[in-house]
Structure 1
Amino acid sequence: MKFTKLTEHIYYMEHDPETDRPTLGYIKGKNGAFMMDAGNSAAHYNHFIEKLQENHLPSPRYLSITHSHWDHSFGLWATDAVTIAGGKTNKELEKMIQWNWDDASMAKRLETGEETAFSDTHIRKEYTHRRDIKVKTAEISFNGSMTIDLGDVTCILKEITSPHCRDSVVFIIPQDGVIFLGDSYCSVPQGDIWVYDKVLLMAYIDELERIEFRYAIKGHHPPQTKEEIISELKSEWKKL
C-alpha cells in the first residue's frame, strides 16, 4: 500500500479494504519515533516496517493503538516497541485474550453480538491459519490523556467520546496540526448497514471541534482537513 509523508514529522500507510487493514501512522522525532496503531496482523505490521526501511526511517520506539478492535490491535504482539493503550482498551484486550478462533467459537460470538459479521469475514481473509492470531495487552495504559515527547515533536494520546466504540483514543500532534483518528469517526455495522448513534455522534463532533488541528488521518478513508471532516460528520448527523 502507498506510504506517504504528510507533514514534516508525520507519515502514514494507507488502508487496504481487502482484508480490512486500517491506515497506520508514524511520527519521526529527533529522540525516537512513534507508531500509530499496530495493524490487523503481524504481516500487516511487518509490511509497515518494510516501508519504513525502504524510506530509511527508524523503527518505532513507541507504539500505541486507538482502540481494541482486531484490525488495529492484532499486530501488537509483533513489535519490539514500547506499547501503550488506553485503560479501557487494555480491559477489552484482556477479554479477547481468552477468545478461541475455531469455527464454533467464532460463530458463538456472532450469535451473542461480541463480534460482527463484517469483522468475522475479514479475519478469515487476513488469517489463512487462525492459530496465528495472537492477542496481547499493551505494556503501559493510561486514563484520560498522556503525552509522548519525541524531542522536537510531541504526541498527545487522548480518550474521546466516539460513535464507533467506548474505548476510542485519538493522537494529536500539535506541532504539525495533525490528529490521527483511528476509527473514532466511524459508525457501527448493524447487519448489512452502518449506523450512527445520534447522541454519540454529536458529542464526538463537539469534542473534535474543540481540538486544534488542520489535517485528520482517518483509519479507513483518505485524510481530510478539519473543515471537511466536521462538515461530513454534521451532514451525517442531519440525516439521523
Structure 2
Amino acid sequence: MPLQHLAGRVWLWPHDPDPDAIRGCVAVIADDRGSVIVDAGNSPDQARRIQQAIAAEQLPAPRWLTYTHNHWDHTWGACAWEDVEIVAHSAATAILEREAARPWSHAYLRDQVAANPKLGPSFRARALAMADWTGFKVVPPHRTFDGTLTLPTGVRLEHVGGSHAPDSLIVIDDESSVALLGDCFYPPPFHEREGDESTDFAMVRRLMKTGLEWYVDAHSAPRRMAGRLSGR
C-alpha cells in the first residue's frame, strides 16, 4: 500500500476500515531535518510496510516517533522502527513499562480472554496483527514531556488527555494546517467503559478551535474544515 499525500508535508498510511482489525492510520511529517512518525502501527509488520512506503516516496528518513497514546494499536510497531527517538506524554511511561513486562503470545491472549471476555475484541485483533512474536517487545518512550513540546522540525505536540487515555496528545503541523488527533475524543476501550460513555464532544469542540484545515483521527477518513477549502 502506498502512502497518501494529505497536505503540505503530511503523508498518511490509511486506517483499516474494518473495525475488527483495529489498525489506525500512521502519519509521516516529512522534513529534511528528519521525518516525524505519528504512531508506530499496530505491529512490527505494519511498521515495516510503512517504512517501505516511505522509501518508495523517497521521503527523509524518520528521526522521531511520537505516540498519540499508549494503546497497543498505536505502539506495538515501535520495535521495528530503528534510529528514532520515541516521544510521548509522561503518563505513558509507567503504563507501557507494565505492558512490556507481560508475556505476550497467542497463548497469553487466549488465557486473558478466557479470564475476562470483555477483552475479546481487542485481544482477537492483536492475534490477527501478530503472526510472529519473534523479537517483539513493547517499547516505552525515550523522551517524555508534560503540557506541550515542539520538535526541531516545528511539529507541535500538545497533551489533551481525556477519557480514552490519560496520556492522549495531538500532533499539529501548522505548516501543513493539519492536526493528528489519535483517539482522544473516542470513548474508553470497551473493557474499561462505564455506563453509556460515548464520543467526547467537548473534546471535539476544543480541537476545532485550533482553526486548522485538516483534522485526522486514527480510525476515520481525514476531515477537512468547511470554509478552509481554498484561499489559504
Assess same fold via TM > 0.5.
yes
Shift of 1:20: 2.4
Give SS of 1:208's match: helix
Deviations 1:79-99 (A, max 9, x none): 121111111112210110111
Shift of 1:136: 1.3
Match of 1:145 in 2: 148
Structure 2 residue corresponding to 1:33, chosen from 20, 32, 35: 35
Structure 2 residue corresponding to 1:128, chosen from 122, 126, 131: 131
Query: Which structure carries more helix by proportion?
Result: 1
Percent sequence identity over aligned pairs? 23
Listed as ranges, the matches of 1:89-238 within 5 Å are 89-102=92-105, 103-104=107-108, 107-108=111-112, 111=115, 116-130=119-133, 132-150=135-153, 154-190=154-190, 197=197, 201-226=200-225
User: Are residues 29 and 118 of structure 1, via their aligned partners in 2, closer, same or farther at CA, if it must alter by over 3 Å?
Assistant: same
Match of 1:87 in 2: 90
Return the alpha-carbon distance in structure 2 between the equivalents of residues 125 and 195 of structure 1: 29
Return the alpha-carbon distance in structure 2 between the equivalents of residues 87 and 227 of structure 1: 35
Shift of 1:110: 6.8
Match of 2:8 in 1: 8
- Count of residues in correspondence between the two structures: 222
Shift of 1:149: 2.4
Tell whether the 8 Å contact from 1:19 to 1:122 is kept in structure 2 after alignment.
Answer: yes
Shift of 1:77: 1.8
- TM-score between the two structures when normalised by the length of structure 1: 0.82
- TM-score between the two structures when normalised by the length of structure 2: 0.84
Deviations 1:195-216 (A, max 9, x none): 8636x81431242133231101
Return the alpha-carbon distance in structure 2 between the equivalents of residues 158 and 44 of structure 1: 26
User: Are residues 194 and 117 of structure 1, via their aligned partners in 2, closer, same or farther at CA, if it must alter by over 3 Å?
Assistant: farther
Give unpaired runs (5+ residues) of structure 1. 229-240
Tell whether the 8 Å contact from 1:101 to 1:131 is kept in structure 2 after alignment.
Answer: no
Give unpaired runs (5+ residues) of structure 2. 228-232
Match of 1:233 in 2: none
Indicate the RMSD between aligned Cα atoms, in angstroms.
Answer: 2.7
